[in-house]
Amino acid sequence: MPEMTIESLDLAKAEMLVGSDGEEASWLAYDAYHRAALQRLERSGADFAVIACNTAHHRLTQIGRGLAIPILGIVDAAAEACVEHRVRDVLILGTRTVMASAVFRDGFRQHGIDARAPADERHRQMVLAAIDALSCGRDNGASARIRQVIVESGLHRANPSAAVYLGCTELPLAFPAHKHEGTFEIGGVRCINSTALHIRAAFEFAIKDA
């Protein structure tokens, strides 16, 4: 069992500090808040770090500046699973920042995978409503909303090279029977569980020299 040190940040504070793309200065406080936590981990003797939040990975490069320890990227873990399952087309579901993130799309593209967010604002709002409900420990139709977005976005079982990226910690909770699985199928469509894959990547990194 790897030894672990945890820095638990205030999610409400982090959300208030989210900046606007195109205005780099607006992200400085957000980056600094996360970097300070990583610096504390580094001083504690940690060999590497994991940020258990998709939104923060939109700023991973900026947050990690000046750190000597590696930070395991959540997109890399997901993209590697996609390559393993021959997925070439990914629908990204997550917070508004994640769905709009060029960083996420570029991260998948580096592995030969085309990634996109729902084009319809109504679908994006449905995803955000599902996240809000799940973050409060309720389903409130979250799983039905996600299924509807998947179907209406054109993903179907006839295309095995397509998958849905559940790019928010809460989204896999809409499917409790699968929340510990890195990949699973809903209605014949493969889902990429970013949380489970990130956990697996961290564990494998921690024990690789054991």
Where in the chain are the domains? 11-73+200-207, 74-198
CB 71 within 8 A of CB 79: no
Q: What is the pLDDT of residue 210?
A: 60
Rounded Cα distance, 210 and 208, in Å: 6
Q: What is the pLDDT of residue 160?
A: 85
The pLDDT tens digits of the residues spanning 159-206 come to 889 999 999 999 999 999 999 999 999 988 999 999 999 999 999 999
* Largest separation between any pair of C-alpha atoms in the chain: 50
Domain made up of 74-198: CATH architecture: 3-Layer(aba) Sandwich (3.40)
| pLDDT, average across residues 131-154 | 91
pLDDT more than 70, % of the chain: 98
Q: What is the pLDDT of residue 37?
A: 97
The DSSP letter of residue 24 is G
The pLDDT tens digits of the residues spanning 92-121 come to 999 999 999 999 999 999 999 999 999 999
Averaged pLDDT of the chain: 94
pLDDT band at 25 (very low <50, low <70, confident <90, very high): very high
| pLDDT, average across residues 67-76 | 96
Q: What's this model's pTM, rounded to 2 decimal places?
A: 0.93
CB 139 within 8 A of CB 99: no
Render the burial of 42-68: b for 16+ CB within 10 Å, e for the rest: beeebeebbbebbbbbbbbeebbeeee
Give 121's contacts (C-beta < 8 A, 6+ positions apart). none
Q: Is the pLDDT of residue 16 over 80?
A: yes
| pLDDT, average across residues 119-147 | 93
**140: alpha, beta or left? (left if phi > 0; alpha if psi -120 to 50):** left
